[in-house]
Structure 1
Amino acid sequence: MSGLGLHRGWRWLFAAVLLSWMAAIPAAQAHESRPAYLEIEETATGQYDIRWRTPVLAGQRLPIVLRLPEGVRNVREPLIQELSDSLLERRWIATGPDGLAGQRIGFPGLELTITEAVVRAKTLDGESWMAVARPSQPWVEFDLTRGSIDVAIDFVQEGVWHILSGWDHLLFVFGLLLLVRSPMMLVKTVTAFTIAHSITLAAATLGYVELPSRPIEAGIALSILFLGVEVVREKRGRTSFTIRNPWVVAFAFGLLHGFGFAGVLSEVGLPPLEVPLALVSFNVGVEVGQLAFVAVVLLLARGLKLLGVVWPRRMELAPAYLVGSLGAFWLLQRLAFA
């Protein structure tokens, strides 16, 4: 194959990859996928008031079904209410004398989604309980003996899940890796991003600051587009404030990304008596997922270098164009639905 033909082949490969990513965008917007929500309140011994909310995205209900334990019966006819963003089902059920303790509540169909089902329960004596079902485990066990360690583990997992399924946040981090070459500057930049989004995550979750989600999501997309432009500028040998001081820009946009994380956490909900623990645990999970992503990207880059893989010169800007193009696509998409 001639050199020109090889370059054309790489261009077509890049276009195919880009189109594949574009096609996956609706499913990739993890932070637009609200969790399903199950609230259980014990009203008498062995009797419960249930509220089951299933999100509606793009006019379609998520394919998640509530499966209660065997032997549960309805005391009254269920009521279903269609809301603007969800389908709310109200049920009144009765169980055996032992109630729901130790019983498994399933969510068939959850494994086909990228969201989760949050379960909150309250008993007659005022005890509260919370658990999260995920695609990898679409069920929970009703267990009032869960302690602080269980809460911490749940929210660490929640943080890891949301950063690794949040393509917009990961793409921003990927853009930082493309922009920064010095190892020390990379540590400084990633640390600045971490500190910034931790600040706004805590402030928004605790109610000190409240901003509408749509502008925040559009702003996150704009930050990715901006970073893509700066990476192209750097690859062409030019300079700018961002290229010279990437940690400053990482901190500034990190504040914005923190509000995005807070939106996710507010949807999941914090256990009233475990707010500090849950908040810290969620943030730890986000950082674990973020560092794992950075490590994988760096290891892949190192592996390709050791294998002697040499990219065609025209492909050097492909990752930067990918970042910028997806940022622009997300921005237009989110503005259209604002």
Structure 2
Amino acid sequence: MSLDLAQPLPDLLQAIVDVESVSGNEALLADLVQEALATCPHLDVERLGNNVVARTRLGRSQRVVVAGHLDTVPVAGNLPSTREDVDGVDAIIGRGTCDMKGGVAVALQLAAELATPRHDVTWVFYENEEVTADLNGLGIITAQRPELLAGDFAILMEPTSALIEGGCQGTMRFWITTTGTAAHSARGWLGHNAIHDVREVLDRLAGFEQREVTVDGLTYREGLNAVQIRGGVAGNVIPDECSVHINYRFAPDKTAEQAEAMMRELFDGFDLEIVDLSPSARPGLDLPAAKDFVAAVGGVPGPKYGWTDVARFSALGVPAVNFGPANPNKAHTDDEFCPVQDLYTCADALRRWLGATEREEA
């Protein structure tokens, strides 16, 4: 089995999608990616775990990083892929077509095709983006070989409907737990109901002002929501514990530390058990490299709602944007798909930016 990187983009996408690569099971796809890129004489290819990094060494004055993750969320009866009409749109349907093997297909084909781009390029294909941050492939590369991710600008090929989305929101998830005293519900006065005490937490959530924040010309919408609640053991027992799981999505006008301080102030009097805290990333669209890319792509950049690995690049001092095929609203859905035209739109934009001519559709 091998990947033909010169085949038409829709066929390449289907070939990649049909290699199941749910998080933790990326080895076979990483093997195929490594083997295909290793045949390109203009690329130096390295492998760290199930992360493949391919670089040009042309001595250009600038280096850009183009990255995409190989893993997907679990399959839901949506493999193998199919090519069908979706409401009048020619599309590839199947797990990972949207998030984000469409972007991977574009990056792989261009990595093989663009032997002499006007910038040196680092192409990164990495594992475990869809699971906990400690397993993320970019984090592994950063810890072991940070120089592999060095660059003047980065593009993360997350689905954006082939439009630039700048920066990303930060995310914070935490539990608040109330405690009481268990008792028989027929003699409730002998106990203390922990579920009732959660009312104060929910009142503070309901009273929180959901802000709209403009950063570098892009407007982000913040959100603070209870996403899970658990408590109680039986229908005749006063519960002695109740926990609320809360998710705060914050705009890139604040650091992760500022977001945490804000939440601790809002829920003063309660203990917060933080389970995840990932920083936001400013758009950086005022930087020269970003302006150059925006001019090549065209259109009006928008904000990224949600967290992506552009934040990791931002932390490394590399300004980054999201740009890839498919509508992000279809990510993780059972009927996710990638419009064929989005593949060509993204590929042609990257060719223009990197100084090559557009390629005809196949």
TM-score w.r.t. length of structure 1:
0.25
Question: Counting strand residues as a fraction of each chain, which structure ranks higher?
Answer: 2
Q: Which of the pair is proportionally richer in helix?
A: 1
Structure 2 length normalisation: TM-score? 0.24
